[in-house]
Structure formats: structure tokens, C-alpha cells
Structure 1
Amino acid sequence: MNILIGTILLWGLVALTWVKLASPARRRTALTATANLAAFTLPRLFVAMIGAALLAELMPADRIEQLFGRDAGLRALLLATLLGPITPGGAFVSFALAAAALKVGATPAAALTYVTSWSLFSLTKLLAYEMPFMGARTMAQRLALSLPIPLVVGAIASLF
């Protein structure tokens, strides 16, 4: 049922966008940009999903369940918060790792904490972009203010 609702909402958004882009030239530009984005993203997504499936087979299920399973509690959330920032690569790596961990016994709360932590604190983004553009002081302030967010996300996810 959720997939049906999501599909209906997406098609509604497509229809609204089509109406808002009244001229044929703007529609053509939008379709070209969409095709370019799909051509860029789909191969990476395909490789990431295959990688996640293969990675799930390589992950030690008993160890993942011990560290990130139902009985791990707060320790799982803290470890996921620490591992997020040190994960190399982009979203295709992080989400593939989270999907693989879910497949072998990690709780959704631990996976959400990991992905949130990676999104907020990825060292590759911090060192390559944030510190040079925003400065060390501003970066440190943002880090201090957003540090509890992954744990809050994980705690809320644990309720469901």
C-alpha cells in the first residue's frame, strides 16, 4: 500500500511539474536534465545494489547482529555514530553498507543512525569542502550543535 501511495504522489508531482513548465522548450530542457541525471545515477545505483548484496554475504552476520542487533541497545547507536564519519566514499557506499548490515541483522535504528552520522559528519566532506569554505571555527560549531542528531534519530527509530 505504501508503494502505491508513493507512486501516486510521484506521478502527481510529475503532472504538476509538467503543467508548471508550460512552454515546450522548458519541458524539453527538463526532460534532458532528467535523462542526464538518470544516465549518471542508474549505473551507480545498479552497482551499489549488487555490491550491497555481495557485501551482505561477506559480512559476519553473527558479529553484525552482536554489535548492531536488537540486544546491542545504545552501544549500537554510539558505534554507528562513530563509524558514519570514517566511511570512505559517497552515498552509494554508505547506503550499500547500511542495506547490507540490515540484511544480516542490524536494526533499522542502527542503520538510520549510521546513515545520518555519515550524512552529517563524513570526514571526506568535512575536510575537502566544509573546512576550506566555512573555516575551522564554523565547522566546529556546526559539529558541536549537530552531534546529538544521529543519536536522536536512532532513539526515535528504536521506538518503532
Structure 2
Amino acid sequence: MTKNSDASEQLPSIPPKPRLPDLVAARELGPAETVRTRWQQLLLVWRWHHERHEALHPGSAYPHIVSLIEAAGAEPKLRQLYPFTSHFSLNFSSCTTYPWLVQAPSITPLRDGRFRVRRPRSSDVIGFAQTADAAVALAVDNLPAGLGPAVDR
């Protein structure tokens, strides 16, 4: 057995990257389809990152971003907004193109298992939650009145 084949036998099995829905094609169908497709993309990408992390670092903690995206995506008031992540924080835009129009609170999974909810585009903390569902509820409670579906800009 050669040195290279021995080393490759010890490498962890990394899951293949997911095939993502076509956001460009979705944009041609309007903002509602763009938002729907983006939620799908975000969940697929973060599930893959989580699985990859588990393969490369078994037993090592990984932020609860996947459960957060699932919980937020199940909430109709957030599901109508364009989701994006930055530094593990889940953010929501009222428009489907950059620069984002962020009027909703952001949610960040913390290393201790809790979730932090912050005011839009601010470091001001609204509160902490023990579960993704509770963090989503806290964010929804702090949405501005009349915040509607995301639009194209």
C-alpha cells in the first residue's frame, strides 16, 4: 500500500455539496418566488455546512443555525422576507436585492445553545431565548407594524 492510499483511507467522508435551486431563474418569476427559492438555498447550504463540520470534527459543537433557519422558515411573517446570513446571524430583508433593507430583528445562535435577538442593523440586544422557536417568536414580536412581503428594488 502506498503512502497516499493509506492517507486517503483515513480521510473522513465529506458529503457532496448540494445542488441549489436556481435563484436567477426565480428572480425572473418575481419577488415571492425569489424569497421562496432563497429559503430553500439557505437551508440546503447550512445543512451541508453542518454535515461537513460533523464529518471533519466529530463531537465538536456547531451553532444551531439549521434549527434556526427551519424555525424562522416556518413562521409566515418571516417566511415572506428575504433571508440571508452573516457570521452565523440570520437576517431578513424587505427587498430581494442588495443593498438589503433590514427592518426585522436578526437572530444569532450562540455557542452555549441559546439564541440572541438584536434590533435591526444594531448591536442592541432585544433578548435571549433558549430555543430557536422562542427566538423566532421574540423576533416576530418585535417586527415593525405593516412589514409586508419582500419586494424587488
TM > 0.5 between the two?
A: no
More strand by share: 2
More helix by share: 1
Structure with bigger gyration radius: 1
TM-score (norm 1): 0.28
